[in-house]
Structure 1
Amino acid sequence: MFSTTRRKRRNPLEFIYTKPVGLTDLAVLEVGTQAGTPDMKFGPGVRDMYILHFIHSGYGTYAAGDSRERIGPGGLFLVIPDTVHAYWPDPDEPWHYSWFGFTGTMAARLCKQAGLAGNTPVRLPDRSHSVAPLFHDLLALREEPAKELLFTGLLYRIFGTLAVADEEPALRPDVGQHVRKAVAFINARYADAIGLVDISGHIGLDAKYVCRLFRQRLSMSPYRYLTDVRMRKACRLLRGGQLGIAEVARSVGYQDQLLFSRMFKRMIGLSPSAYRDRALLENRE
């Protein structure tokens, strides 16, 4: 069992920040554990990252929009970036939880596959999908030399354990071929000014149908997949440190540097210049 008594006496809140080490699909920004007190509340407010909480003991309430959910041991709740929310402990049995703060181009898709979607993304205790051991004493990894990779790998394992079955109807056998052809086109032409019309025209299908195929196969729109590809390529170019921001933007299909910068910060969590500076600093260490 996860012991909470000792933590409450010594330090009710412990957390560490991490460096995403160039990861873009899924990057852990912080982990921590919180032994709540009855008067400890967050919000209503917003956060700029996804935060996945797991309840070790006690109870509390998570509210988002017009919905609220009381959660106890074994439950999880997800904070979604830029979404107004609040959470607070039960006054008689305050909760003790651990959390991952993360971002990345695959973050939304992984959360959806884990059944953490909707207005109030909560997973109640489920013995068939227990992730308690994976949240046990996260901070023990703080001294590991590759803790960023270990935390990211652990978060992938959590998503894999929570993954729910795909409830979409079976697709025709040729659907996979259509999507693969579209994906190949995007990966080859991402630096050009392409859009949905170009993608659907390349594979000879109606644009709305192409969107449906992408959502059923990849859980995202063609535009989102194109943006993910562009952002991954941009991260690689920025880590190289040899190109200016405008040159990187044009190299991944954005003629407007400001639009590229806004999109990059929305997807990665940092401005292009901040991402490049951090990557260069990490390379020197």
Structure 2
Amino acid sequence: MALEHYHFTAGFNLAPDDHDLSVLFSGEGKPVPGHKMGPSVHDYYLIHTVIDGEGVFQSGSNSQGCSKGDTFVIFPGALFSYQADMDRPWTYVWVALQGEAVEQLLHEVGITRDKPIIHLDNLIEIHKVYEHIRLSFQQSAYPRLESLEASGWLRLLVHKFGVANISSLPSQSIELPDVIDRQIDQAIRWISLQFHQQISIDHMASSLGYHRAHLSKVFKQKIGMSPKQYLLKVRMDKAKKLLGGTLTIDQISSSVGFNDALYFSKQFRKWSGMSPSEFRNHLRTGK
């Protein structure tokens, strides 16, 4: 590398995960004028971001000049080559990755095999993220933790690609929900995740920025029940599932947002026609 680069440094993952998404290695270098890689193919994804200078990237039959701020992606199995300019050889940072989720993740930020190049303006931030990825690999006694850290920084890097390339994101073709649907979705999400807490519908509405009467009206029009009724449904449905397990009635009561097990039992009987104990026995015996 010393003969081909004025500067070269890299970090390597000793414990990559082959399934979802994993960084293999990451580095930074300034090659000598005219330095060329390829024509070749890789069995992993390789992303380069040009920090300074110029060069040419070729993927298949398509060739394009790249300069400061350009990022090009080499896809597995794709024939590629890239070469530093003779007068102003580029300096670039890179990261190699693999996993079943990678191609879809890149597609979501507008990078595809047909469009493997994007331009970035926030190079200082981007450069720092690449550095964090590379420095994750300190060759410590805990390579799996290093791999986990690098994957986290990699996701942040891809996020920044998406922000820079927002005009090309495929999500632009997706119809956004209208205001009312958004309000209801937020309320449903809140209830579904917080049902085990002592939820106040007034507090939920104000936290979401809505008046309770308005939220209750549009919620009932869309869902067919009020937020309070929907909260009870979520709690009772969850209680039914828990009654199939080994938790006590008191523990189930607390798990679905009731401080008083007796009150929970009364509400459950109104909802299902059986007490929690009777419902549990029905699940076990089928009678």
Output the TM-score relative to the length of structure 2: 0.52
Counterpart position of 2:152: 153
Contact conserved, 1:37 with 1:94, CA < 8 A, in 2?
A: yes
Counterpart position of 1:69: 64
Distance 1:59 1:113 in 2: 27
Counterpart position of 2:76: 81
Distance 2:108 2:3 in 1: 34
Distance 1:136 1:8 in 2: 23
Aligned counterparts, 1:228-247, within 5 A = none
Aligned counterparts, 1:13-28, within 5 A = 13-22=8-17, 24-28=19-23
Distance 2:154 2:59 in 1: 23
Larger radius of gyration: 2
Aligned counterparts, 1:9-158, within 5 A = 12-22=7-17, 24-127=19-122, 131-136=126-131, 138-143=133-138, 145=142, 146-158=145-157
Deviation at 1:102, TM superposition (A): 0.6
Counterpart position of 1:167: 172
Deviation at 1:129, TM superposition (A): 11
Output the TM-score relative to the length of structure 1: 0.52
Distance 1:98 1:128 in 2: 11
Counterpart residue type for residue 168 of structure 1? S
Deviation at 1:23, TM superposition (A): 5.8
Deviation at 1:105, TM superposition (A): 0.9
Deviation sequence 1:135-168 (CA, Å, 0-9, x none):
2365433326432111111110011122244122
Deviation at 1:126, TM superposition (A): 3.3
The gaps in structure 1 that reach 5 residues or longer are: 1-6, 174-285
Deviation at 1:57, TM superposition (A): 1.3
Distance 2:152 2:24 in 1: 13
Counterpart position of 1:264: none
Deviation sequence 1:172-222 (CA, Å, 0-9, x none):
99xxxxxxxxxxxxxxxxxxxxxxxxxxxxxxxxxxxxxxxxxxxxxxxxx
Distance 2:158 2:21 in 1: 11
Distance 2:102 2:63 in 1: 23
Distance 1:29 1:60 in 2: 24
Counterpart position of 1:274: none
CA 22–14 in structure 1, closer or farther in 2 if over 3 Å, else same: same
Deviation at 1:16, TM superposition (A): 2.8
The gaps in structure 2 that reach 5 residues or longer are: 179-287
Root-mean-square deviation (CA, aligned residues, Å) is 3.0
CA 21–124 in structure 1, closer or farther in 2 if over 3 Å, else same: closer
Deviation at 1:14, TM superposition (A): 2.2
Size of the alignment, in residue pairs?
168
Distance 1:57 1:140 in 2: 21
Counterpart residue type for residue 135 of structure 1? Y
Deviation at 1:33, TM superposition (A): 1.5
Distance 1:128 1:138 in 2: 15
Distance 1:107 1:168 in 2: 21
Contact conserved, 1:67 with 1:119, CA < 8 A, in 2?
A: no
Counterpart position of 2:185: none
Aligned counterparts, 1:172-191, within 5 A = none
Deviation at 1:11, TM superposition (A): 6.1
Contact conserved, 1:26 with 1:103, CA < 8 A, in 2?
A: yes
Counterpart residue type for residue 172 of structure 2? E
CA 129–107 in structure 1, closer or farther in 2 if over 3 Å, else same: farther
Out of 39-48 and 76-85, give the one that drifted further: 39-48
| Higher relative contact order (CA closer than 8 Å, sequence separation 6+) | 1
